[in-house]
Amino acid sequence: MTQPLVRLTTGEHLEGDLVALGCFKNAEPDAGRLARRLAAALRRACDQPNWKALEKQTTRATTGGSKPIVVEVHGLGAAASFGRRQLARWVRRVVSRASEEGRREITLVLPDHSVAQERSALQILLQLLMSGYRYDRFKRRDRRPTLRVIHLLPPDGQDPHYQEALRLARPVARGIGLARDLGNTPPNEATPEWMSEQAQAVATKQGMDIQVLGPKELEKRGMGGILAVGAGSSIPPRLVRLEWGEGDEVVSLVGKGVTFDTGGISLKPSADMEEMKYDKCGACTVLGIAQAAAEIDLPRRFRVYLPLVENMPDGGSYRPGDIVRCYNGKTVEILDTDAEGRMILADALAWAAEEKPGTLLEYSTLTGASVVALGHHGAALYSPDDELAADLIDASARTGERLWQMPLWPEFDEDMKGTHADLRNLGSRWGGANSAAAFLGNFVGRTRRWAHLDIAATAYKASREGRISGATGFGVSLTLDWLLATTGRF
């Protein structure tokens, strides 16, 4: 991923051919932070007829001289209702408009508002660093100039908090970029074997220990869930384990990696099936978190588990009616081969729990039911530990990656009990995301501090025209924010 170069500036020497800033409704433009000729252009821009600083309203004026600079003013609406999400949308609008105009270097002046102060610094910088993200490996190169340099003027000038945030934002942005790249890679390339190779590349670069289990090792360990789901594919499954870091407290991360999901014998409808390359996004998110956490050198010991399969229908596929034994010995009656994610997570979670982590987080595009519940506006969070859930929700509020806590009521455990086995892999139609989470709870052993994030609604997004625009890397930012907060780093 190519990141634009982001630099902090004091306002004395604003660079580029465009300076963008915001103005609140019924407020005077903030000319005091600009040089004289820029301030004059700002006043001319705001003297335009019908300018009221309404949200999304824009006005501009150009300075004189041999090197004219455009001063672009964006309406921010009422200051009282201006929050993090409005700030993020404004930053995106500025960068998008500058990119569309072919500008190479701009300055962004942040509003003097509490929402742009310390705790928002990291997310603002991430917005800028990710602004140039494109997944274009399989397209002819766009020869149009791209935005290369963004100068940022914080509310308090050379704010040391922004300096530290910029140092942290770069590896986090690289982690988000990795998660998006992996998620967007097509299934004819991104197989379980290929995904394990990408994990190996991260491990080698970051000095992590790595294990890659193939079919023989999986069978020897009794990991029947992964083997069952992967049995229908000509490409064998893998289970990757990464470990690095020091300290007594272990954070374990598990990510669902179904590189393509046809549904197996319980075949999905053909409409939109191409989106099923995104069924690996849980694993992609976890690998992005891993890379960033290692780069930042967080003072924790980490373990990562990536179950990787392709769910295909053929003569070797697992069937509805089969009974599968998972790593912790529990048996599962198969009612639907399209409920495959929970089967591979069962083995990975059981292994993770066996190694006694302090905290266990799992990410998966697990259920369409979570999308029905929350739309595409947030991810479903399940945890029996209210303190952990609250901390993750706080991080989600700071980053804008929304989480909503859902129930783990005992009725959902009852729903997942099997007729001829300990469990079944599909509950009733109602509360499907909740019963899926309850199923996973059978494989975390005695780990109390665990959370399941169903990111099916947020792992990839569509454009306004309804076309899929790509993987989001959802979960990388909020998890790193949570880790930085818990380690006192930011």
Active site residues: 268, 342
CA-CA distance, 311 to 228, in Å (whole number)? 9
Helices (H) and strands (E) in the chain, counts: 14, 20
Nearest Cα to Cα of residue 128 among 97, 98, 92, 162 = 92
58: helix, strand or coil: strand
**Helices marked H in 16-130 — which ranges?**
36-46, 84-100, 121-129
Please tell me whether residue 289 adopts helix, strand or coil conformation.
Answer: helix
Q: Are 273 and 333 in contact (CB under 8 A)?
A: no
Q: Which two tokens stand for residue 229?
A: 């789901």
Question: What does the alpha-carbon distance between residue 214 and residue 379 come to, in Å, rounded to a whole number?
Answer: 31
Q: Is residue 293 classed as helix, strand or coil in its secondary structure?
A: helix
Residue that the structure tokens 């766009």 belong to: 142
Secondary structure (H, E, C), 313-343: CCCCCCCCCCEEECCCCCEEECCCCCCCHHH
Distance, CA of 433 to CA of 405 (rounded, Å): 12
Strand partners, 7: 151
159: CB partners within 8 A, 6+ apart: 8, 118, 121
Phi-psi group of 473: left, alpha or beta (phi > 0 → left; psi -120 to 50 → alpha; rest → beta): left
Helix (H, G, I), strand (E, B) or coil at 456: coil
The span from the CA of 67 to the CA of 309, in Å, is 57
Q: From residue 243, give the alpha-carbon distance in Å to each of 183, 246, 294, 322.
A: 22, 10, 10, 34
Consecutive H or E run containing 9 = none
Q: Smallest Cα–Cα separation from 480: which of 311, 162, 153, 251? A: 251
